Amino acid sequence: QYVMYHYPELETGPYRPHWKNFPWENNEAYFLAWCEGKTGYPIVDAAMRQLNETGWMHNRCRMIVASFLTKDLIINWQWGEKYFMQKLIDGDLSANNGGWQWSASSGMDPKPLRIFNPASQTQKYDPEAEYIREWVSELRNVDTEYLVTGKIPVDEREAVNYPAPIVDHKKRQQIFKSLYQEQKQKN
């Protein structure tokens, strides 16, 4: 709240000036898949489905899905911020805005290229895939190793009607880093 009080312009824009014209891709099909929890990334999908069903998710999951939206899908953080405010039962403008700007690296963040890897986040925070199985029902009987690594064989995905990953994390991470560096040099 302190930051929002002293920087009220954050309600409608980024803290870091070079983010005002960041070349977001804003792919609406990707955004819809993210909103519905159908990205092909089990931890992201579990978190989004929990949000949609309960209006809440753990802070770690908020960071994972925010990083994924902004740095894998390269969608403007404000789309995610708005979606969260429509869904969260504990939605608070200053906390939500601050969290999204932190995740997108457009806020007061000393590590601007922090990009969460969905697989490593799963390995650290859901090593037995219990959370994933709770919220992504079609994956309940899929081998834990596949869920934790995110490397579900095509035949298993198809058998349970679970989508393939909509983007390649490693490739998108490199694209985001390049866009960030280009934008930073322009300003």
Position 140 scores a pLDDT of: 98
Supply the pLDDT for residue 96. 75
Give me the residues of the chain with pLDDT under 50, please.
Answer: none
Residue 109 confidence (pLDDT)? 72
**What pLDDT, on a 0 to 100 scale, did the predictor assign at position 99?**
79
What's the pLDDT score for residue 176?
95
| Residue of 127, 105, 106 whose CA lies nearest to 116 | 105
* Tens-digit pLDDT profile for residues 111-124: 778 999 999 999 99
Q: Show the domains of the chain with their CATH numbers.
A: 25-187 (1.10.579.10)
| Cα separation, 1 vs 21, whole angstroms | 25
Residue 111: the pLDDT is 73
What value does the CA radius of gyration of the chain take, rounded to a whole number of Å? 16
Look at phi and psi of residue 88 and say left if phi exceeds 0, alpha if psi is from -120 to 50, else beta: beta
The whole-angstrom distance between residue 49's C-alpha and the CA centroid of its chain comes to 13
* Helix segments in the chain, DSSP class H: 2-6, 28-36, 42-54, 59-67, 77-87, 93-104, 118-125, 130-135, 144-149, 154-160, 169-186
The closest alpha carbon to 51, from 62, 41, 39, belongs to: 62
Q: What is the pLDDT of residue 100?
A: 84
Q: What is residue 6's predicted lDDT score, i.e. its pLDDT?
A: 65
